[in-house]
Chain A
Amino acid sequence: MTRVWLLLLGAAATLGFAMVVLVVLPGALLVRIEPSAGLAPYGEREARGRAVYIADGCVYCHSQQVRDPSFTSDVDRGWGRRASLPADYVHDAPHLLGTMRTGPDLLNVGARLPDPSWHLIHLYDPRAVVPWSIMPPFRHRFELRDADAVGPGDTVVPLPAGRVPEGQVVVAKPEAIALVAYLLSLRRDAPPGAAALLDVDSRFWCGQGDEPRLARRGEAPAAETPR
């Protein structure tokens, strides 16, 4: 019978879709994600910095997700104290999870590298602070000025000697300052609140009997802080 495969195919498809409709959709519709503890919406400057992050394509080399320690070395590398959760992203539109790690993960870069001057130097001239870096310099977010043309409101980038022509200074444009503000705001490793939903893929590899990493590190979940 040549059309047996047609029947099988149709049956499989119908079954599959019935299952999705009956099992998955009702559950999905009942769930709402609450922001994780202490996660506030972006302020105006951080939001502007995030737009710069998107415009200059940072996402093509930097991810913003920490995966489970039993699955990857993300936590051991110091990229976060725990795997990230949907609750960590409620204010992100569009998402910037990323698919490449040409550079390190940035989800908690604000906790890891809290010095704004370091970021300004690094953005203007990455190799001034990280000699092996292959990050492009974002000089268009800065201005090169004569040293005597600096006003009181200007943010001068404290570059190491020899990294800028004699008698000149590098002044950060507002968008560079906004970008740094955004980077510093990236801290998503507060202990998950009661509302955090743990059955996400980053925790898939916690098998049965595997003590979750959070507990092992003795970080009792904090009570949910109201925003």
Chain B
Amino acid sequence: MSAAPADARREEIAIRASADASSRAPVLVFFATAVAWLLFGSLAGELASLALHWPDLLGFASFLTFGRIRTAHLNAMIYGWASLAMCGVSLWMIPRLVHQQLSWPRLAMAGAALWNVGLVIGIGGILAGRNDGLEWLEMDRALADPWLVAGGACVGIPLLATLARRTVDHLYVSVWYVIGAFLWFPVLFLVGNWPFGGVESAAVNWFYAHNALGLWLTAVNVGAAYYFIPKVLGRPVYSYQLSLLGFWTLAFFYALNGMHHLIGGPLPTWMITTSIVASVLMIIPVVAVAVNHHMTVVGRFAALRYSPTLRFVVIGAMAYTAVSLQGMFTALREVNRITHFTQWTIAHSHVGVYGFVTFVLFGSMYYVLPRLAGREWPSARLIQWHFWLSLGGIGLYVVALTVVGVLQGLVLLEPSAPFQRSVEVTIPGLYARSLAGLVLGAGHLLFALHCAALLRAPARRAMPALLEARPVVVRDAGAVQEPAS
């Protein structure tokens, strides 16, 4: 590729600058509220974890009972932290990729407000005992969900309008993933909330919950990884064809997956078998993404020492591969009869929503926030701490619960073993989980403080953090900088 003429180059930079400027305000609002929910969700999760090994601890208050605080944790993390941060990343990435200013940024801001109102009502309602009774869809469908639908529309419509006004013809693979997610999610959410009865209610419930993972959380974050990994490394993805193959297989086959949550349940065998087959078929998009991400980075792993973005996103991408392969494996009946109904599932979901989704979102925010704030992260050491607390915390979490999950499952399969034993074998894992929760929470607190410090730094330091001309990032204390935008 020959170097573009100087004029074209300057124009490109101007396009990028105007794209960034157009999305700046809504992205900041989404990120700020996402981090607030992250803190709330961490606290709720820790309380829920404590309640499992010290069951009498929270008995004094109805809203702290395990069934409520755990549900508040899930909803705060999925619909608060992850979804809000994903909206922020999407609103930032799409204008850049289609070389156009974000349409109606104020509508997107309103979307953030509406979504947050919905969350407060919905999660407040869960704590007060208003629960729709469907996992992943607990928020009140009359009082809270309309706010979420309106808020989501206020994000999706500007994104689609921006896409319609794009000045490039080709849609980069990240655009496909993000736009796909914003088209799929509203449909899923509406159907998921439809009040079905009987076993159909279960089928629709898991159709929704699994697709919320695959077609919403996964889609946006794989899209983000396809943006940030090449961007930081300065080399295109290893095989662009493969990346598109991955997207389209996900689009075609993922929706069939959800029934594997009901293996052995009172549902038609054909539906569940179809889901198992589709789950195994997911090896195509997963391997496509895994090979691509890995081969793009291979030979340049040293970059992880420099760029916090790359470090989080690459670990996130690895977790995506791991969690997907684990999911396929778990969908096989022989494995599922052991792991179903045990803590294994909880560990698995945290590899996905934390190891993958949250890591990619952290990485994205480490890239995006300084560019929006116009200054660099104040402290490389804080980023280091955050990274190692997150990695250590999730590692402990997953190992502990996976091990006790298998033990629990084996006890449950043994008819002569009293149920008591299946509880007792999990206790060490439950303690370890509470410890892991503390470690993760500490990392989140540092991250939140660091974000606040970045955004509240004195205005006169317009371009100050570039103390080092060299793009030295995580390894050295002091300024944090990345080489390319």
Q: Are A86 and B341 in contact (CB under 8 A)?
A: no
Residues of B within 8 A of A59 (CB): 67, 133, 135
10 cross-chain pairs, A with B, having the tightest CB-CB distances, nearest first: A57-B67, A93-B197, A76-B415, A140-B62, A55-B129, A101-B341, A67-B264, A95-B201, A54-B133, A73-B415
Give Cα distance in the complex from A133 to B423, angstroms.
8
Partner of A65 from the list B62, B266, B333 (CB cut-off 8 Å) is B266
Determine whether B468 belongs to the interface, using a CB cutoff of 8 Å to chain A.
Answer: no
- The A-B contact count (CB < 8 A) is 190
Q: Which of A45-86 contact B (CB under 8 A)?
A: 54-61, 63, 65, 67-68, 71-73, 76-77, 83-86
Closest B-chain residue to A28, C-beta based? B268
From DSSP, what is the main secondary structure of chain B's interface residues?
helix
Q: Which of A4-53 contact B (CB under 8 A)?
A: 5, 9, 12-13, 16, 24, 33
Q: Are A94 and B201 in contact (CB under 8 A)?
A: yes
Give Cα distance in the complex from A97 to B412, angstroms.
17
Residues of B within 8 A of A58 (CB): 67
Residues of B within 8 A of A65 (CB): 264-266
Partner of A201 from the list B196, B263, B427 (CB cut-off 8 Å) is B263
A95-B199 contact in complex given A77-B415, A102-B423, A140-B61, C-beta closer than 8 Å? yes
Give Cα distance in the complex from A61 to B71, angstroms.
12
Q: Are B414 and A73 in contact (CB under 8 A)?
A: yes
Residues of B within 8 A of A200 (CB): 265-269
Residues of B within 8 A of A202 (CB): 264-266
A134-B53 contact in complex given A57-B68, A60-B66, C-beta closer than 8 Å? yes
Q: Are B60 and A139 in contact (CB under 8 A)?
A: yes
Residues of B within 8 A of A13 (CB): 252-253
Q: Are B131 and A54 in contact (CB under 8 A)?
A: yes
Determine whether B65 belongs to the interface, using a CB cutoff of 8 Å to chain A.
Answer: yes
CB distance from B135 to the nearest CB of A (A): 7
CB distance from B274 to the nearest CB of A (A): 8
Q: Are A71 and B337 in contact (CB under 8 A)?
A: yes
Q: Which of B249-297 contact A (CB under 8 A)?
A: 249, 252-253, 261-273
Determine whether A221 belongs to the interface, using a CB cutoff of 8 Å to chain B.
Answer: no
Determine whether A189 belongs to the interface, using a CB cutoff of 8 Å to chain B.
Answer: no
Q: Are B263 and A9 in contact (CB under 8 A)?
A: no
Residues of B within 8 A of A72 (CB): 264, 337, 412-413
**Chain B 54-98 interface mask (CB, 8 Å, partner A; 1/0):** 011011111001111011000000000000000000000000000
Q: Which of A78-129 contact B (CB under 8 A)?
A: 83-86, 88-102, 104, 126-127
Q: Are A204 and B269 in contact (CB under 8 A)?
A: yes
Q: Are A99 and B59 in contact (CB under 8 A)?
A: no
Q: Are A77 and B341 in contact (CB under 8 A)?
A: no
- For B135, B197, B265, B337, which residue has the most chain A Cβ atoms within 10 angstroms? B265
Determine whether A199 belongs to the interface, using a CB cutoff of 8 Å to chain B.
Answer: yes
Residues of A within 8 A of B252 (CB): 9, 12-13, 16
28 residue pairs from A and B, CB less than 8 Å apart: A13-B252, A33-B199, A54-B132, A54-B133, A57-B68, A59-B133, A65-B266, A73-B414, A77-B419, A86-B199, A86-B266, A92-B201, A93-B201, A94-B205, A95-B134, A96-B133, A97-B202, A99-B261, A99-B340, A136-B55, A137-B56, A200-B266, A201-B262, A201-B268, A201-B269, A201-B272, A202-B264, A204-B264
Give Cα distance in the complex from A83 to B248, angstroms.
39
Determine whether B424 belongs to the interface, using a CB cutoff of 8 Å to chain A.
Answer: yes
Q: Are B55 and A126 in contact (CB under 8 A)?
A: yes
A132-B129 contact in complex given A60-B67, A101-B342, C-beta closer than 8 Å? no
Residues of B within 8 A of A139 (CB): 59-60
Residues of A within 8 A of B337 (CB): 71-72
Q: Are B66 and A136 in contact (CB under 8 A)?
A: yes
Closest A-chain residue to B242, C-beta based? A5
Q: Are A90 and B197 in contact (CB under 8 A)?
A: yes
Closest A-chain residue to B265, C-beta based? A65
Give Cα distance in the complex from A75 to B420, angstroms.
17
Known: A57-B66, A134-B427, A139-B59. 13 other contacts (CB 8 A): A9-B245, A67-B264, A73-B412, A73-B413, A93-B198, A97-B199, A99-B261, A134-B52, A136-B56, A136-B67, A201-B262, A203-B269, A204-B333
CB distance from B38 to the nearest CB of A (A): 21
Closest B-chain residue to A9, C-beta based? B248
Residues of B within 8 A of A94 (CB): 132-134, 195-197, 201, 205
**Chain B 4-29 interface mask (CB, 8 Å, partner A; 1/0):** 00000000000000000000000000
**Chain B 404-419 interface mask (CB, 8 Å, partner A; 1/0):** 0000000011110001
CB distance from B412 to the nearest CB of A (A): 6
Residues of B within 8 A of A186 (CB): none
Determine whether B324 belongs to the interface, using a CB cutoff of 8 Å to chain A.
Answer: no
